[in-house]
Structures are given as C-alpha cells and as structure tokens.
C-alpha cells in the first residue's frame, strides 16, 4: 500500500455525490477512490482531497 494515501473525513464522504449522476459514492479503500457505480467512474483522492472532476475520474471496466 502506498504510504502517501491519506484518510478522508468520513463526514465529508457522506456529503459527496457523483457530479455526473448526483448519485451515491462508495469509498474504495484499496485504490483510495470514490466510486460511482451508476456513472461507472472512480474519482481519485489525492492528499486526502477527493478530486470530483469527471475529467480526472477513471472509467471502471465492465
């Protein structure tokens, strides 16, 4: 596991939604991402800050 992975405030995670679908997100601790199953995108978390830009999201494989 990467040493640079930071924890994200759980209260912040409860408030965030997918900017594309406005749907719920799940936290993938292993990859340090917020996942939108509906949009099939994973938003990265860098230095403890969720990057909620569709252009920065990783497309999920089918």
Q: Tokens representing 58?
A: 């990783």
**The domain at 10-59 falls in which architecture?**
Single Sheet (2.20)
Q: Kindly report whether the global pTM for this prediction surpasses the value 0.85.
A: no
pLDDT of 6 reads 58
For the chain, what is the mean pLDDT?
A: 88
How many of the other CB atoms lie within 10 Å of CB of 5?
Answer: 15
Given a contact cutoff of 8 angstroms between Cβ atoms, the answer to whether 21 and 36 are in contact is yes
4 pLDDT above the threshold of 80: no
Enumerate the domain spans of the chain.
10-59
**Residue, of 14 and 38, whose pLDDT is higher:** 38
In angstroms, the CA 40 to CA 35 distance is 7
Query: What tens digit of pLDDT does each residue of 17-40 get?
Result: 999 999 999 999 999 999 999 999
């Amino acid at each position: 596991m990467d040493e640079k992975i930071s924890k994200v405030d759980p209260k912040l995670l409860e408030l965030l939604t997918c900017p594309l679908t406005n749907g719920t997100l799940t936290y993938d601790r292993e990859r340090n991402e917020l996942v939108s199953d509906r949009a099939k995108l994973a938003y990265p978390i860098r230095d403890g800050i969720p990057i909620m830009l569709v252009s920065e999201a990783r497309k999920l494989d089918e």
